[in-house]
Structure 1
Amino acid sequence: MIHLDQDDPARGDVSQLLSEHLADMFATSPAESVHALDHSALSAPSITFWTAREDGVLLGCGALKHLDSPDGPARHGEIKSMRTTASARGRGVATMMLRHILDVARTRDFECVYLETGTEDYFAPARRLYVRHGFTECPPFGSYVLDPSSVFMELRL
């Protein structure tokens, strides 16, 4: 059975998965278009980080960043660091993680969840996953700017 739990992004196997994620991002996107976070950035107080495991074996990870608002309490979040291990792809781990993150966002009374992903073919499965769950394209949010290598998406909750 697959379990989703809050976890430490600096944990050995998780840190390795995040390093692979960053390496893939830099291999597929221009450096200025890579917005993935390393394990130390994912440890920020504004971020909740989860892993998916089966019998202790890491299958994937994902995070929810609470976005600041200059106009008062933020009720928006951003999905960060969605990643599935190569051996777990096709098993529904990303769907489980996404549903979990969205459930948490709802319990926190978030109004909207955003994400940024790439435009390259490498990111097509991720874009399809998000569209299947109701995300639509939107303008850049937060500190992001228009970028031909980025797709910005949102889901109103």
Structure 2
Amino acid sequence: MDALNIARDRPDSPDVQALLIRHFELMRASSPEESCHVMEPGALLERDVTLLAARDGDAVLGVGALAQVEPGHGELKSMHTSAEARGRGVGRAILAGLLNEARAQGMARVSLETGTAGMFAPARALYAAHGFEECPPFGDYTVDPLSVFMTTTL
């Protein structure tokens, strides 16, 4: 693997969009619609989000976005590592980059929603290892037995 490059990117870049579509389709196939909070790739363009992509050379290995929930409070969205790149530290690198972006944007808190199913266990462990703790629903979310809400202060 070349040096992993984490940098701002655009959701409409063809290779980034392809990975976002894979993420969207996987999330839609894994959760009932009423419990699936994945953003459509095009919605990332409509909202003021900071999107980071992890690249190894020209290959996009992972993506993640930071959206503002309210002043000083950000939300992680569309965190996804390609199946081929899992276990290589891609998610950890993107998460670190997004937390740095949140600090640079003056955010004091970052939260997220993820699933309760076993397939989400590695993500929950990653977030916990970076100081995220379970919390009540935030923003427009409501209690859902298929969702876990997590937050950290910066």
How does the TM-score come out when normalised to structure 2?
A: 0.95
Aligned mates of 2:123, 2:83 — CA distance in 1? 14
Aligned mates of 1:64, 1:112 — CA distance in 2? 12
**Could you tell me whether the CA contact under 8 Å between 1:50 and 1:62 is conserved in 2?**
yes
* Residue equivalent to 1:7: 9
1:58 to 57, 60, 71: 60
* Residue equivalent to 2:93: 96
* Runs of at least 5 residues in structure 1 that lack an aligned partner in the other structure: 69-73
Shift of 1:45: 4.4
**Could you tell me whether the CA contact under 8 Å between 1:113 and 1:155 is conserved in 2?**
yes
The share of aligned pairs that are identical, in percent, is: 47
* Runs of at least 5 residues in structure 2 that lack an aligned partner in the other structure: none
- Within-5 A mapping of 1:8-157: 8-68=10-70, 74-157=71-154
Partner-residue secondary structure (3-state), 2:37: coil
* Residue equivalent to 1:71: none
Aligned mates of 1:91, 1:108 — CA distance in 2? 28
Letter paired with 2:56: E
Shift of 1:44: 2.8
Aligned mates of 1:103, 1:49 — CA distance in 2? 12
Aligned mates of 2:67, 2:75 — CA distance in 1? 5
Aligned length: 152
Aligned mates of 2:43, 2:33 — CA distance in 1? 17
Aligned mates of 1:32, 1:25 — CA distance in 2? 12
Alpha-carbon RMSD: 1.0
How does the TM-score come out when normalised to structure 1?
A: 0.93
Aligned mates of 1:39, 1:22 — CA distance in 2? 7
Offset from partner CA, 1:42-73 (integer Å, 9 cap, x none)? 113421111110111111000000123xxxxx
